[in-house]
A and B are shown apart, each in its own frame.
Chain A
């Protein structure tokens, strides 16, 4: 591929991946490069602002939003390994800044070129990972923001179909929330626990060795519950598997 046709993408790492599981960020870089992109990681990024956004603190969210817009508008695309952060940038920022004559249009332009990574790889790059082999079975949970705000459903399944040896098992209630909800899970821990308890039941009933999803927050919630129950199901972000990381330590396993 010639330089001219290689899109220059900015990776938005997300605060959770940055702190808790950088492997997801490196997997993203590997996949994006394999899909023919030039990847950069702007240093003026922290978080998409959801802690404030979900608390109703719109002024702080807008401040963080302006910072993200400024850092990423030079790129052809902003790519993020999380449906929830992508949803905030795509839908939240333009709504929040709509009445701002300068930032409103800039937010709208950034929203247009912001993509969750799996949907970007499939829908925009028409990418299929090659040479992947992983023995075992997995089931996939559709994280809510990706599914309902961005319409991500077929893309991860299509990408995972390229992994030889991996048997995908259906998950009962795959489109039902896992009870994470950001601040929700610490504000209303008992309700959240009851919801994730039911999710863990369905995951175990699927009989799969692995649970995959596209959002680290949901994954930490489900993995944490499964581990507390003594379940042996191993949890990964889908792109870790796609980048060949399925034999490495799963979420929570000793690195």
Chain B
């Protein structure tokens, strides 16, 4: 419906397609991810069994969500953390800002969290006048560039190393020694280290919420989550309620899937369980720990056709293997989450009218579902959005009229025969040489490719004629 967003997606994807540097960056990252994942799975003989188990764990938790949420709250509270409940993204931001103010925070560090992006936390902190320091290297890049993540695992994957060097040279004092990866990491480390230690509040997400211990779990490869959550006086966790698992061993079962599917590693460099604030005798840790559990549309999904999406463990494999994502990158999708999983989630979060293109900008090739470690039937879910879009009348009048005409014919074989016979003859006039180079009403096709013309009358005409002429052919 929304004309601006509609042109929005087209304009954004056109711009992406016209950007060869973006394509280079996407190909480098997704190409490597695809190869590494394939290699990791080749050495993981029990992958299919692990996959079924992972899906079953998630399904079980979703079916008993209240039970596990209560268990988690009880155990987290017992460990000394305080649990907060947020129904919407604005409620979640309000809680975090209030907690920051109560802590008298001027500077907060944040370790990468897509849930934080989903609820708009970076902007909310900015509006509240609280200095935000992103500690994940890629998020640091994004922050310097004033952008949003374009991938859920590698938020800055749309930028080439050369472009990152430019950003660092402009911002870092002193600038990196050269634009080799090692020098740039060194430079970011230098800039960020001081800030880590002077932050009042550290904000992280969670990959898992462990119900039977009340712990939250983060996985990173940079160690920045530990530096975000340990030195500051207050640690705030924001997490979606679907991150719950019954126990640590269930988290481990999912972790094996998550890491292999995301980066092709066997385990992340850092897997940390945060269980309550600093206890007497602990060497370090925050004085206070708050956990903000965010619903933001999730409990509604339990009851509708998008329930399977709640299994998602945010590994990014679906986008790495998506032909559309690999052409247009993440920003063109226009939501927090890109790629196939984003095309399912963005209409939930932003409304279908705002994001109607996403479920349609998909060839339904099914590779996303094939690589999803928790067996989410992404094409089926995208199809469900298409059905909702149709029923809500969001398709344009031309499309509706065209389909109505087609459906009228398709349900009347006799009439269909006549119409297709006429259509084929018309096309044959245009395609005398075999190929049709340009065709009115089919510019979408012929702008980029030729159309092979029909080879003769329709099959049905020829089959009937053959039957009449050569009955012996019919047996």
Contacts and interface: CB of A to CB of B under 8 A. Distances in A.
A89 to B, nearest CB: 14
Interface string A210-236: 000000000011011101100000000
Interface string A166-186: 000000000111011111111
A212 to B, nearest CB: 15
Q: How large is the interface on B (under 10, 10 to 19, 20 to 34, 35 or more residues)?
A: 35 or more
A135 B355 CA distance: 51
A177 B367 contact: yes
Nearest to B428: A255
A157 interface: no
Interface stretch (B57-65, B131-139, B258-266, B405-413): B405-413
A155 interface: no
A249 interface: yes
Nearest to A28: B459
B450 A22 contact: no
A213 B451 CA distance: 17
Interface stretch (B46-54, B145-153, B160-168, B380-388): B380-388
Contacts of B299: none
What DSSP secondary structure best describes chain A's contact surface?
helix
Contact of B459 (A18, A57, A58, A196): A18
Contacts of B453: 20, 252
Contact of B403 (A57, A179, A224): A57
Given A22-B459, A56-B383, A177-B323, A191 B367 contact: no
Interface string B12-27: 0110010000000000
Interface stretch (A72-80, A105-113, A143-151): A143-151
A41 interface: yes
A254 B444 contact: no
A110 to B, nearest CB: 17
Contact of A54 (B386, B424, B448): B386
Contacts of B420: 15, 18-19
Contacts of B14: 190
Contacts of B475: 33, 38-39
Nearest to A66: B411
Contact of B407 (A64, A190, A191): A64
Contacts of A94: none
A203 to B, nearest CB: 13
A-B pairs, top 10 by smallest CB distance, nearest first, are: A181-B363, A56-B386, A224-B449, A56-B390, A252-B452, A22-B459, A177-B365, A186-B444, A144-B365, A193-B448
29 contacts: A18-B459, A20-B455, A25-B459, A51-B403, A54-B386, A56-B388, A56-B390, A57-B407, A60-B410, A63-B407, A144-B363, A148-B365, A148-B366, A149-B366, A176-B367, A177-B367, A182-B364, A184-B362, A185-B445, A187-B360, A187-B361, A191-B328, A193-B447, A194-B327, A196-B448, A224-B435, A253-B434, A254-B433, A254-B434
Interface of A: 13, 15, 17-23, 25-26, 33, 38-39, 41, 43-47, 49, 51-58, 60, 63-64, 67, 144-145, 148-149, 175-177, 179-196, 220-221, 223-225, 227-228, 249, 251-255
